[in-house]
Amino acid sequence: MSVGHVIGSQHTSTRDFRVVLGEAEYLQLDDLVVVRTDVPGRGHVDTYGIVTEVEALYEGASFESDTVRIAAEGSMPGGKVRSAQVSVTRVDPEVWVAPDPGGEVQRATGDARRKALYADEMERPLPVGLGRDGEPVFVDLDFFDGRKGGHMSISGISGVATKTSFALFWLRMLTGRPDVTGDAGHNLRVLVFNVKGEDLLWLDKPNRYFTAEHAGAWRGLGVEPGPFPSVSLWAPPRARSGDVAVPDIGGRQDVDVFAWTPREFVDEGLLRFLFTDASDLRTQVSFVAERVEAQLRRYAVDVAGRAGAIVLRDPVEGHRPGDLVTPNPGERVVTDLATLVDAVEEFIDPPDGEPDVKWTGRVQAGTVSAFMRRVHAAVGRLGHLIRAGDSRRIDRSRAEVTVVGIQSLHDLGQRFVVGALLAEAFREKERSGQRLPLSVVVLDELNKYAPREGQSPIKDMLIDIAQRGRSLGVLLVGAQQTASRVAPEVLENAALRVAGRLDAAEAERSEYGWMLPSTRARARLLKPGTMVVSQPSIPVPLVVDFPFPPWATRKEEVAEGGDPFDGL
């Protein structure tokens, strides 16, 4: 498997070297090679590397026109020389010396390939895609599931970088390789937010365009192809669906409707997620929201015969948590967000009299008015998510993968749902104190929820998850078009970093410093389905391909009737 020799006309180093190729051999980008060096007093040292660039020229040509004389006319002597630039990935044993000039360079296959990719040192190597040679490329699962690190960040141009597709592929590897994931994959719970279109609402349906060639790629990764086997789908109710909650989905109706009762809204402190704009934290509006949230917990009493409904009564009247009361004549019963806002307004902005300082604190009247304007606006934007009746909480224990469709909601509604569910997942893990079973959250448009500038309750929560989540078993798979617009605290804690095609200007930002210069240049040209992956186990980023999904990504792709994978 010899392909050439280390070039002796240039200096070699412990970082990189060049290879002159034999006439009948070739190397392409991302090929893995190994060269053996005899070190005096230490014996053999194997240097492994990955091809980052290939070149060719005519030796003997001094001018551009010499090319014609050598290649076409044969009137001038010259020889074609092809070479490759190699970046060192590993030295075994770790005697850091430069490869000898003239050293024989071989393709790294079999055990040598595993060593070049550090797979032999990974306790749980999980395939993350296919290399240029069609063989699996691995990541050390310890750097995702919290043992040594956690979280994954995916960046790239919208519609071209296939960020969400790669995130789903990664989830399928987590759920489809129990032999690798072990305890980390047992009872795994995944929460996926569908923020655009209805692409993620078909994960349980087979893809009609899936072929035998695609199936072979999946089997090469150790996973039998097929849609996600355990999926539950949730959607918000339509804004004017009345007493019967109808899912706000166009493509399919066999999904569950989610909502929160007023009782749940109060107990879980969800009022703060109505104030997710950065401008709210630059004023005292957020202070008023905190006071109102605390008072709601003290004043809220359950209504007999009305599941989830509450009334607001001063605790000095003697009620206790869990009591059921019958509303007094004329007393306002809170059955949705609109009636809750009206009930709160009676305390903090009464038509006659002064605001109750227990609810507002000593703030200016303009601040109270600003608070009320925001909550009244929230009624029209997400009021249909709060309704009395039987609980419609999202049950994440029902299936391995829970998809929550928020694409039809107003921006404020999307932020509310994301914040409420993140808080719930994090709170559950804090209460249990156990890292396992793992809880994985997939969130697209991360720059909207954890922006680089400003503050919000959701951003604070995502930073907390990034910093403490791996120890609690809460792992974030975040996707964004531009990593430069995401809070640094979130990106810095992502042990696995992935990029698809990047904008030329974005690729030069410091957030992509983990890439080699040659990799940055390639990232501007990557095709859909090709990603650059960086992990702590390997000192250089790797370019991988991930296979075509066997699940549908839109209604038109759903295979009808029979088993579309039969015989593949």
What average pLDDT does the segment 385-397 reach? 93
Cβ atoms 475, 440 nearer than 8 A: yes
pLDDT digit string (tens) for 225-255?
Answer: 999 999 999 999 998 766 678 899 887 888 9
* Sign of the torsion formed by the C-alpha atoms of 516, 517, 519 and 524: positive
Judge whether residue 407 has pLDDT over 80: yes
Task: Please answer whether residues 175 and 192 qualify as being in contact, where contact means their C-beta atoms are separated by less than 8 angstroms.
Answer: no
- Taking residues 446-468, report their average pLDDT: 92
Tell me: the pLDDT tens digits for 507-560? 999 999 999 998 999 999 999 999 999 999 999 999 999 999 999 998 899 998
d(Cα 251, Cα 140) in Å, to the nearest integer?
38
Q: How far, in whole angstroms, is CA 531 from its chain's centroid?
A: 14
Question: What's the pLDDT at 278?
Answer: 58
C-alpha distances (whole Å) from 348 to each of 262, 302, 351, 453 are 19, 22, 10, 31
- Tens-place pLDDT, residues 30-52: 999 999 999 999 999 999 999 99
Task: Give the per-residue pLDDT at 564.
Answer: 73
pLDDT in tens, 62-103: 899 989 998 888 888 888 999 999 999 999 999 999 999 999
Token representation of residue 60? 């003997």
pLDDT of amino acid 239: 84
- What confidence score (pLDDT) does residue 562 get? 63
Q: Determine what percent of the chain is predicted with pLDDT higher than 70.
A: 97
Residue 390 has pLDDT above 60, yes or no: yes
Q: What is the pLDDT of residue 507?
A: 93
Q: For residues 183 and 179, what is the distance between their CA atoms, to the nearest angstrom?
A: 10
> Using 50, 70 and 90 to split pLDDT, how confident is the model at 281?
low
Q: Average the pLDDT over each of 183-197, 269-283, 304-318, 517-531 and give the range with the smallest value.
A: 269-283
Tell me the mean pLDDT in the region 347-367.
81
pLDDT of residue 241: 62
Label residue 359 by pLDDT band (50, 70, 90).
confident
- Rounded to the nearest integer, the mean pLDDT of the chain is 92
Query: Which pLDDT does position 242 carry in this prediction?
Result: 65
Residue 280's nearest CA partner among 350, 365, 375 is: 375
Domains and CATH numbers, the chain: 2-112 (2.40.30), 140-254+395-552 (3.40.50.300), 262-385 (no CATH)
pTM over 0.75: yes
Q: Does the pLDDT value for residue 416 go beyond 90?
A: yes
pLDDT for position 493: 96
Q: What's the token pair of residue 361? A: 């604190």
pLDDT of the residue at 280: 56
When pLDDT is cut at 50, 70 and 90, the band that residue 314 belongs to is confident
Rg, C-alpha atoms of the chain: 29
Of 297 and 283, the one with more pLDDT: 297
